[in-house]
Amino acid sequence: MMRTRPLKVALLGCGVVGSEVARIMTTHADDLTARIGAPVELAGIAVRRPGRVRAGVPEELVTTDATALVKREDIDVVVEVIGGIEPARTLITTAFEHGASVVSANKALLAQDGAALHAAAEQHGVDLYYEAAVAGAIPLVRPLRESLAGDKVNRVLGIVNGTTNFILDKMDSSGAGYSEALDEATALGYAEADPTADVEGFDAAAKAAILAGIAFHTRVRLDDVYREGMTEVTAADFASAKQMGCTIKLLAICERAADGRSVTARVHPAMIPLTHPLASVREAYNAVFIEADAAGQLMFYGPGAGGSPTASAVLGDLVAVCRNKVAGTTGPGESAYTRLPVSTMGEVVTRYHISLDVADKPGVLAQVATVFAEHGVSIDTVRQQGKDGEASLVVVTHRAADAALSATVEALRKLDTVRGVASIMRVEGE
């Protein structure tokens, strides 16, 4: 039987994503009603600058008093797309206190305070959904949280930032330098005026924290995620990658240790074989590769940002939360029963590609090989090129711990025959 009283929704934020959410709620109202089992009504839109509200947004619903909006007793669901830590955190907890469920796209807040927000939602008997916080329109959070709930996820490897993937893709396909590729990304609207959050890996690190927590049923905060940006990646790195049959991607990597006693979460540029599915992800697209015991290897691919794709994820959560309201229940909350510790980057084991500038004279290779051996790092391949007394030495290792590799590099810098370390790149996906 259809419920006649409408479910009322408060929208916090009306920018690119928020305005698209409002548009879809208005134009698809009949379909949403049929899918939910009750009418759904946009009851208020909180913004900071009412003069900037986009065309098509009902002006009579706009307010600058977000606190008063979320405190309204008739509000059933709050959709938060304003981003940042405050006032979003206070508004969300206030909504919980007044009996409203929350749909959020706020990756930074969830990565920092997800545990506290989940606890508050559980205390007040409401939902907290956030599919749009990771990888835009790609269904990822719900499959990890629900579809794979009976499986054991061992690894999540993904491209979760469209800006960085666009830049690296252009560097790979055209031979452009980082600055040129960034300028093109900015001109096309893929990069913000200040791209720091993207190119330095902050955005991807927040998403990695969320994915690791869900995948491994443990609490992973943003501070637990090792982060390295991609601004130092050069055309020479791509040339080296091509010689190895690889390309370079900025990857978010979440792994369960082989003994199952800890997890790691990290974001950094890495060489990845051209045979790996992630290597073919082009332009500003996102993709996440999941490895699980029973399901095996799964690939999720699609647009990772933008108004319409992100709004699609928001609306999916809105339908799920509203259905729960109609049924008088709540969906799955936080699952952190494993309480696994998060290992440091020094304990991570992977392969490495190291490019050294060395003197072009006899005995250099033997000296370098000795340093690697002394630190327990096994060499897979070596390539040397020399001219006019200078040379480059490219070393690819077998799998080694990051701490051992770091100690090796420090020792190499002390050799008189080593002029400098041109680059260090991890090799993943093998």
Q: Which position among 107, 207, 249, 325 bears the catalytic label?
A: 207
Q: How far is CA 332 from the centre of its chain?
A: 22
207 flagged as catalytic: yes
Contacts of 402 (CB under 8 A, 6+ apart): 345, 346, 347, 348, 349, 350
The answer to whether the beta carbons of residues 408 and 371 sit under 8 Å apart is yes
3-state secondary structure of 143: helix
Q: How far apart are CA 24 and CA 17, in angstroms?
A: 11
Would you say the C-alpha torsion 403, 409, 410, 411 has a positive or negative sign?
A: positive
CA 116 to chain centre: 20
Per the DSSP assignment, residues forming a β-bridge with 354 are: 395, 424
List, as one string, the DSSP characters of 101-126.
EEEE--HHHHHHHHHHHHHHHHHTT-
3-state secondary structure of 40: strand
CB proximity list for 340: less than 8 A, separation 6 or greater? 216, 218, 256, 261, 262, 263
| Residue labelled with tokens 């509200």 | 53
Using alpha carbons, list the distances in angstroms from residue 336 to 126, 135, 207, 211, 343: 18, 22, 17, 12, 17
Q: What is the SS3 assignment for 79? A: strand
Beta bridge partners of 226: 266
Got the DSSP string for 148-178?
Answer: TTTS-EEEEEEE--HHHHHHHHHHHHH---H
Q: H or E stretch including 22?
A: helix 16-27
Residues ≥6 apart with Cβ < 8 Å to 1: none
233: which residues sit within 8 A by CB, 6+ positions away? 168, 171, 178, 248, 269
CB 350 within 8 A of CB 251: no
N- to C-terminal Cα separation, the chain: 53
Q: Cite the active site residues.
A: 207
